[in-house]
Amino acid sequence: MAAQSTDLKVLESLTRAQLHAHATRYYKSGGRTEPEVALVVYGDARAVFKDYARTPGWFGRIIAPVLIWREASALRRLDGIVGVPQLYRQLDARGVLIEYLPATPWPQAKPAEAAYHKLDELVDQMHARGVAHCDLRAPSNMLVDEDGQPYIVDFVARVCRGRGWNLPWNWLFRQFVGADESALAKLRVRFAPRLATADDRARLDERGPVERIARAIGERTRAVVRFFVGS
Ligand SMILES: Nc1ncnc2c1ncn2[C@@H]1O[C@H](COP(=O)(O)OP(=O)(O)O)[C@@H](O)[C@H]1O
Ligand SMILES: [Mg+2]
């Protein structure tokens, strides 16, 4: 345990080049609008490195720093919630180092029913802290471990609750909270139909106006659009 925490301290202080050199696998290998997502191993310590430094062009230069800021600020706001990875370090405008979760993406995991209830609680906790995830329709953003503990990753599309006086913004925030809840309904219908209620099925057919627009624009571009609209 002591060796692990010393290793983690060293891992957290590595440069970008060293982090890539210690990557043992890439969950994502990067692209024109995508980060590299690497599992970094140093001795007994592990971490996940999400890095846009090699994302080319204007996306890498202008959009990526906004996405990394969005991810890091959400992780700070959610700090301490079991099921959300800890932010170890923001390297700079284009990279974050976060806690490695020894868990499997939801679609491959075949989680037990109890995991769905825990996931509901986790999403409620996240909303109570004032964060709507906005990309839970991608089931790869939810993981589950062997004990049935759920986890949520990938906060680049998040929307945070505004100040009390900002009624229009908070109306919008509630729409995105609703979109997260619809995404959980969709998850049940797809992967745990026995758990899906009539309400869940109905929810998939009737979406609010913001949700319809958000879906029409598409997952990736939603994050970009919010950048231009503001957060
Ligand atoms: N902290 C983590 N621990 C373990 N696996 C992770 C972690 N963060 C991300 N992953 C894996 O990497 C994949 C891509 O990461 P994600 O943050 O969703 O990137 P993107 O924004 O490109 O979708 C996830 O679907 C998950 O499988
Ligand atoms: Mg993702």
Q: Ligand 1 pocket: which of 24, 33, 37 to mutate (most atoms <8 Å of CB)?
A: 37
Task: Give which of 52, 177, 199, 60 is closest to 124, Cα–Cα.
Answer: 177
Ligand 1 nearest atom to the CA of residue 67, by list position: 21
Evaluate whether 109 touches 135 at the Cβ level (below 8 Å): no
Evaluate whether 141 touches 119 at the Cβ level (below 8 Å): no
Task: Give which of 78, 192, 182 is closest to 144, Cα–Cα.
Answer: 192
Successive 10-residue mean pLDDT values, the chain, 231 residues: 88 98 97 96 98 95 97 98 98 98 96 97 98 96 98 97 96 96 96 93 75 60 57 47
Residues with CB under 6 A from ligand 1: 27-28, 34-35, 37, 48, 50, 85, 98-101, 105, 140-141, 153-154, 156
Q: What does the pLDDT read at residue 228? A: 57
Which residue's CA is the closest to the ligand 1 atom numbered 9? 153
User: Taken in order 222, 31, 62, 24, is the CA torsion positive or negative?
Assistant: positive
Largest distance between two CA atoms of the chain: 53
DSSP reduced 3-state for 29: strand
Q: What does the pLDDT read at residue 1? A: 64
Ligand 1 nearest atom to the CA of residue 140, by list position: 25
Neighbour-count burial for 60-90, b at 16+ CB within 10 Å, e otherwise: beebbebbbbbbbbbbebbeebebbbbbbbb
Domains and CATH numbers, the chain: 2-99 (3.30.200.20), 104-229 (1.10.510.10)
Distance (angstroms) between ligand 1 centre and the Cα of 9 equals: 22
Distance (angstroms) between ligand 1 centre and the Cα of 27 equals: 7
Which residue's CA is the closest to the ligand 1 atom numbered 5? 101
Q: What does the pLDDT read at residue 3? A: 79
Q: What does the pLDDT read at residue 20? A: 98
Distance (angstroms) between ligand 2 centre and the Cα of 153 equals: 7
Q: What does the pLDDT read at residue 231? A: 47
Radius of gyration of the chain (CA): 18
Distance (angstroms) between ligand 1 centre and the Cα of 142 equals: 9
Distance (angstroms) between ligand 2 centre and the Cα of 204 equals: 21
Evaluate whether 123 touches 133 at the Cβ level (below 8 Å): yes
